[in-house]
Amino acid sequence: MSLEEKVKSRVLELGADFVGIAPRSRFDGAPEWSRPENLLPNFHSVVAFGIAMNRGALEAWFSKRSRRPQVLLDRWATQEVDRIAFYVSRWLERQGVKSLFVAHNFHYNTFRGRPDFSHKHAAMAAGLGRLGLSSLFVHTQFGAAVHLCSVITEAELAPDPLVSDEDDPCHRCKSCINICPVQAISQERTKSFIMEGREYSHQWVNKLSCAWGCGGLSGHQYQIGNRTVGTWSYNDLPMPDDTYQFSSEFVATDRFTRHPMELAEMVITQGTEYCGNCHKVCVGTKKDTTALLKLHLNSGVVKIPDDPTLLLNLKSANARLEKYPIPDEEVVALFQR
């Protein structure tokens, strides 16, 4: 068995749903801030892999039966891909090749406002899928509803072929664009990148709008066609236009304006996830994606509880959450364009 076969077998045995290998040459046109050589200068290969989201949890999410399974799944899947990357990097080191793992992009470098590495570009470079309209990575079988991670190594591993245009898993159905409560994905503006000498493009995403919507500060009620729908948020708060004002308002609003039941849910689930629907609705086939979108359209707006016995003291909730222990200047850096 070749080394690349052993690596792939190891990744799958540890719990990943898919794995591929990318060569150094495919990162020549990657975003400057996320090139593997920034972390391991003499790397030869990147092992990209991931875990697919559970369909049952996604159906519970979009039908508004419960948000908790999906929130917990996302948190634990993040821990799982980090664990797999950690053990695979250690295994490669024991084979005599220098390697390192890069944490899931949940862990941002707050001083730069960006992750240390782009796992979605690595997954595409490893032949696992393409970047879709949403700018998210879309796997050939599981769609965008996946969690990604990577191991960078000096091992010279045989790469997997890139996905062809004929096998592009993005159906251009625009479900990701239509389902966004804050219209963060531009209909007209695009962004491009180079891979193996070829230019690829996807829609541009307004990161500030995305943070506002995914953070649950907006999205309780919005329109898709003639349907009134909503995310799991209880809020529809106006987003500041000024970029430099955004971070301070985001923190203040997040801490002191939320419904107390939301704060209680944050403590219970240890998560603040309210949307990410562009990520979750894309599950592979166009038929399955449409089915999840229909669940969302038919689930309407989440009911805001008003039972006083459910209310949680704001100061107590914030003390337990400790969501923003980092300095203001780091928060500002996180939301820079």
Report the first-to-last Cα separation within the chain, whole angstroms: 46
* pLDDT (0 to 100) of residue 290: 95
Question: Which residue has better confidence, 108 or 142?
Answer: 142
Closest CA to 308 of 243, 264, 249, 278: 264
Q: Check whether 86 has a pLDDT greater than 90.
A: yes
* pLDDT (0 to 100) of residue 311: 46
137 contacts: CB under 8 Å, gap ≥ 6:
119, 120, 123, 124, 128, 129, 130, 131, 144, 146, 148
* pLDDT (0 to 100) of residue 282: 97
Q: What is the pTM (predicted TM-score) of this model? A: 0.87
C-alpha dist (Å) from residue 178 to 175, 229, 315: 5, 11, 37
| Over residues 124-131, mean pLDDT | 97
Distance CA 8, CA 56 (A): 27
Question: Which residue has better confidence, 42 or 104?
Answer: 42
Least confident of 30-44, 117-131, 226-240, 313-327: 313-327
* pLDDT (0 to 100) of residue 271: 61
Confidence band, pLDDT 50/70/90 cuts, at residue 133: very high
| Over residues 178-204, mean pLDDT | 93
Distance CA 99, CA 44 (A): 10
The residue assigned the tokens 């003639």 is: 226
Which helix (H) or strand (E) is 267 found in, with range?
A: helix 260-269
Which phi and psi (to 5°) does residue 235 adopt? -125, 150
* pLDDT (0 to 100) of residue 315: 45
| Over residues 97-101, mean pLDDT | 95
94 contacts: CB under 8 Å, gap ≥ 6:
none
Report the percent of the chain where pLDDT is more than 90: 64
Are 174 and 290 within 8 A, CB to CB? no
pLDDT tens by residue, 198-245:
999 999 999 889 988 988 889 999 999 999 999 999 888 888 887 777
pLDDT tens by residue, 252-300:
776 666 676 676 666 666 666 889 999 999 998 999 999 999 999 999 9
* pLDDT (0 to 100) of residue 275: 93
Report the percent of the chain where pLDDT is more than 70: 82
